Amino acid sequence: MRILLADDHDMVRETISAYLHSVGGAEVITTINFPDALDQIDKSGPFDLVLLDYNMPGMFGLEGLERALKSNGGKGVAILSGSAPTQTAQEALDAGAIGYLPKTMGAKSLLEAVRYMGTGKVYVPAELLKQ
């Protein structure tokens, strides 16, 4: 699976990338902001899955999601967030995101969610469904 991971926090980006590569066998390309993510999609895409930090530089929330969905040729784009409220997560899903991944989730759960979204299915964390 080819994944583009865009997050402005080095530790988050590097740790998720290393885990998805070593344990999940994914090819992971990383960028530190939204404009670089769009450039990478244009240069190397489409990707099987794009993971975008909701609050990174240049993202502009749902506007960035919509732009990434168009650029990635209809393939999955998911939102990563450590702080987005439930309403924002629901709005992202309504706007076409293939998933919403809270940064509080465990590594195994993240890998399972990525694999699930890689099959084209929408991932919604259980805690979001309870609200």
Tell me the per-residue pLDDT of 86-113, one tens digit each, with 9 for 90 and over. Answer: 888 899 999 999 999 999 999 999 999 9
Distance CA 102, CA 67 (A): 21
Helices (H), the chain: 10-22, 34-44, 62-71, 86-94, 107-118, 126-129
Q: 17 and 30 in contact (C-beta within 8 Å)?
A: yes
What count of Cα atoms within 13 Å lies in the side-chain half-sphere of residue 111?
Answer: 14
Under the banding of pLDDT at 50, 70 and 90, the label for residue 121 is: very high
| H or E segment to which residue 84 belongs | none
Sheet-wide strand order for 76-81: 27-31, 2-6, 49-53, 76-81, 99-102
> By residue range, what is the domain housing residue 33?
2-129
Tens digit of pLDDT for each residue in 49-89?
Answer: 999 999 999 999 899 999 999 999 989 999 999 876 788 88
Q: What is the pLDDT of residue 61?
A: 87
How many domains does one find in the chain?
Answer: 1
Assign residue 93 the CATH number of its domain.
Answer: 3.40.50.2300
